[in-house]
Amino acid sequence: MIAFLADAFVKATVILVLAAIVTICLRRSSASLRHLVWTLACGGVLALPLASALLPNWRVAGWPRLDVPMTFDANEQREPPLAAAASVAQVPHAVTPATTGAPAVRSSITLNWTALVLPVWLGGVLAVLIVVAIGMARIAWLERTTPPVEDEAWWLLVEDLSLEVGLTRQVRLLQAKGAAMPMTWGIRRPAILLPADADTWSAERRRDVLLHELAHVKRHDFFTQLIARIACAVYWFHPLVWLAATRLRGERERACDDHVLRAGADPSVYATHLLEIARDLRAARATVFASVAMARPAQLATRLLDVLDTRRRRDTLSARLAVPAWIVAIAVVVPLAAAAPRIAAPAPATRSIDTIPPVPAPVLKARRAPTPAGTSQDTTVVNALIARLKDENAGVRRAAAHSLGQLRDLHAVMPLIAVLADSDGEVRSAAVDALSELEDSRAIGPIAGLLKDPVADVRHNALSALSHWDQGVPTGPVVALLDDGSADVRREAVGLLEHLRARSAGPAIARLIHDPSADVRSAVVRALGELGEQSGAAAITEALSDPNPDVRENALGALNDLKAPIADATLINLMKDQNADVRQRAAELAGERSVVAAIPHLRRLIDDPRGDVREAATEALGHIADPAARQALQAALQSPDPKVRRAAAEALGQDP
């Protein structure tokens, strides 16, 4: 583990030092460009472990070896016979040598401190993530308890400014019940929080504050901040990562300030707004870790100087600059992640005693290409593991099979196939998993033979393994497992037949539409829709009345994929479903199919408790060319939900 962390420390240091040098060279460029550099640096150090696991090792002779053995050390000392005898007399637990002529061996055992590295590192990661989670929970609580802005002027202003900055995502405006720092959060559904006294602000301050926050949303600053926080959690022990996160935050605010000034704001007036907001308002407790606030006191002095500096460049980040920056970042991270020390020749055997097994470094699993038979890569290790496949202990055999799958050496294919006949079910399952990693077609037939195994987990693993191949898998034994006593096996069998595009198995799959397991029924509906057989439409239609809402929703999607007819009365009935996702899907299909009879029900769904359902119903009315639908859309313009009003306005502008 210490080798893993030390390697990550060195590589992260290289990336962050390079980023610092680049930003120093770009000190006269725009803040948005420097922010991109720090974003790529934080993302790069976060991607290093994953890239190191996925990429083949690039052996570099000059790269330092950082591995430290995590074992007990046994230090031996030879003594003359007389000294050994004296040692025996003084040490109560010493063992008398068998022959007086041979020199005695005295061993001292010392615990290596590196065994504590893993729990200490995990404790630090957990501590930082808990702080971030508290901030996210606080944001979620604010989102639930804070009402939307009631003043219509704010909504009109945010729509105008969204068009001005080119923002396509809809932004929610929330107004706190007290003094609160303007801030934003969210990725898919961004929100902006305003203080209670925001209604008393001048038109100029309203515009400047909203432009600043919308710039954050446009630039996805909440997401980049989240990347930096996660990087700080993983590298909590690295001071340069924390410094990079701080620099990223500062450049982010400067970039948004530049956006406001570029839009025509007066620098002195805007600086006054920043100063007054920072002085009079404070961010809610704990939200600083999970939101993007406008004017925290930290770094405010330098921000004000930058705002008032008329010589500063305030350009936006163009694709002409962003694309080369991404290319350079990839060109740095990829070879750096693959770099590893050149393996030295094996040292001669020593008499050290390893009293505990090595602790594996918690690296991410990587799928390596299978090593062709006849190559020398890991040959010694592979042969040793193959020999352990016949070990008398089942746990050893299981571990050997698992490791052979990870090594992905084709030498192991035939020995692993032989293990499929092992007396222990867990060993057979491990061999199946290993063969699926190797993806050698010679294993298809033997694995298919385990579809009749008496152990359900083995049958399940065999089905899962066969999904690694697109051809050559016999479908007959798979169809037979549709009647298996295990629900997991039945579900996996349905999924494998879907993967194999076994259309002839459609009727057999359709028989499971009344299976006791909801997971199996959902798999059946999805498979029948993907197979594209119209003969399965009847079974899917039956699933529309399934007691499980996921099954009903999937059935609607499958029928739509098949272009199969759905009775108007059925769609209308599903628009009254207790599950919001089902109501939403039914409303969407009613619009796509122009079901005129559904117009009154769609009109009622405009007042649904769920916002997604209301929006879907409004958009569905826009697809129905009928005067009643146009009247319903006109009524929707009075909805208290701005999303509904917006959808209605857009629909009314389209040709009926």
Residues 157, 201 contacting (CB under 8 angstroms): no
Q: How many domains does the chain have?
A: 4
Average pLDDT, the chain: 81
At 401, list the tokens: 């099979």
Where among 516, 535, 565 does a domain terminate?
565
Residue 315 lies inside a defined structural domain of this protein: yes
User: What was the pLDDT predicted at 64?
Assistant: 58
The amino acid occupying position 95 is: V
Pick from 162-166, 209-213, 352-356 the range whose average pLDDT is largest: 209-213
> Are residue 196 and residue 307 in the same domain, yes or no?
yes
> Are residue 410 and residue 276 in the same domain, yes or no?
no
Residue 88 lies inside a defined structural domain of this protein: no
Where among 517, 537, 565 does a domain terminate?
565
> Are residue 493 and residue 640 in the same domain, yes or no?
no
User: What was the pLDDT predicted at 1?
Assistant: 58
Residue 347 lies inside a defined structural domain of this protein: no
User: What was the pLDDT predicted at 430?
Assistant: 92
> Are residue 221 and residue 166 in the same domain, yes or no?
yes
For 373, the domain range is 368-470
Q: Choose among 350, 367, 495: nearest CA to 437.
A: 367
Where among 454, 470, 486 does a domain terminate?
470
Taking residues 218-238, what's their average pLDDT?
91
Taking residues 611-620, what's their average pLDDT?
91
Residue 517 lies inside a defined structural domain of this protein: yes
Residue 518 CB: number of other CB atoms within 10 A?
Answer: 15
Residue 92 lies inside a defined structural domain of this protein: no
Residue 652 CB: number of other CB atoms within 10 A?
Answer: 15
Q: For the whole model, what pTM was predicted?
A: 0.48
pLDDT above 70 coverage of the chain, percent: 81
CATH number at residue 462: 1.25.10.10
User: What was the pLDDT predicted at 230?
Assistant: 93
User: What was the pLDDT predicted at 523?
Assistant: 92
Least confident of 113-122, 218-227, 500-509: 113-122
Q: Choose among 222, 229, 39, 243: nearest CA to 131.
A: 229
Q: Is 21 exposed, middle or buried (0-12, 13-18, 19+ CB in 10 A)?
A: exposed
At 265, list the tokens: 């704001």
Instruction: Name residue, tokens 């930290």.
Output: 298
Residue 353 lies inside a defined structural domain of this protein: no
> Are residue 146 and residue 4 in the same domain, yes or no?
yes
> Are residue 446 and residue 484 in the same domain, yes or no?
no
Taking residues 472-492, what's their average pLDDT?
92
Residue 520 lies inside a defined structural domain of this protein: yes
